[in-house]
Amino acid sequence: MNYFSSIGFIKSVPVVLFATGILFSACVNDFDTIEKVTYDPSAPDEVTQDLHLIYSDSGYAQILLEAKIAETYITPQHITKLKDGLKVDFYNEEGEVASTLTAQYGEINYAKGIVTVRDSVILKNYKKKRHLETEALFWNQNDSTIYTDKNVIVKTEGKGVTGRGKGIRTTQNFSRYTILEPVGKFDLDED
């Protein structure tokens, strides 16, 4: 290396250091600004696709809940919103599915122990071969009751409509039910 080329190198070093300093000082992130841009207080704390949740007792499945999308919120209330369809299977003592609840939308309120389902709600009992149709149901997990004050239709396979009215109260296996305000004429089951 000759004398003149080393002088050129020495003259360019301050320029390169100055340019590098500007480059790095321009890349400083302001975390408050980033949080304002990326944080959405109405966004869920957790999102799950294809949820499969099993409630068991002593190692035996009692309830299987499935949902396409589950969005969990911790504040202001701890709730999970079940979207794009859900299915709940209720098992009997023999480990068989006794009844199934389906709907398009659901919401689990953990503090109250209440599951609300809406939109195309159907509750089926397989042994009795009956199903309930309504627009909304409430499932109280604390006492295993299902109820609504909305219009309901109960159909039994081979018999057609066996119950119609406003409001119903039943157990989660839908073996027995009470229509709160019955309407019209219909056949009654012997039990």
Local confidence band at 56 (pLDDT 50, 70, 90 cut-offs): confident
Lowest mean pLDDT segment, chosen from 57-66, 87-96, 121-130, 181-190: 181-190
CA distances from 190 to 1, 88, 158, 168, 176 (A): 108, 28, 15, 18, 11
CATH number of 44-182: 2.60.450.10
| C-beta of residue 74 within 8 angstroms of C-beta of residue 60 | no
| Residue 173 CB contacts under 8 Å (≥ 6 apart), including other chains | 90, 92, 98, 99, 125
Tell me the pLDDT of the chain averaged across its residues. 84
Is the confidence at residue 18, as pLDDT, over 70?
no
